[in-house]
Structure 1
Amino acid sequence: MDADLRSRTLFARDDDRAVMSRILLPAPGLVVFSLADELLLFRDTGLAGLADGPWPCGDGNPHGNPVLM
């Protein structure tokens, strides 16, 4: 969808699996991912951007928080 609410297909694949994409945090408060044939964007989530470095989730530990406060 563009700013004038016109839709356009950027990519299409004939696939019936409900597969979730990687989750992207492109800007503070914005979460973007796809599920099956839908692109989902969530704004104003309160999430910050990812921490810089190779291990943004608490240095790779399973209890790490992936976002900066």
Structure 2
Amino acid sequence: MIAKDLPVSFRSVQRWRQAWDEAGPRALRSQGPASLPRLNEKQLEAELAKGPAAHGWEDQRWTLARIKTV
């Protein structure tokens, strides 16, 4: 069963199956990222150069989650 093999809910698998039945494999194509980046590359570099403390974190460690938040 797909839902057991992948880290997804049974309901997600049902939606995928319904989309496939209604529109074929094209219905399952990626629609791209759910949101667009808020900063361009230069803006992001400038914000990261300020360091994590400037953005409210106590330590000076950048993590992917923190970068995504910025």
From the two aligned structures, give the one with the greater helix fraction. 2
TM-score bracket for the superposition, by shorter chain length: under 0.3
Question: Which has the greater radius of gyration?
Answer: 2
Higher relative contact order (CA 8 A, sep 6+): 1
From the two aligned structures, give the one with the greater strand fraction. 1
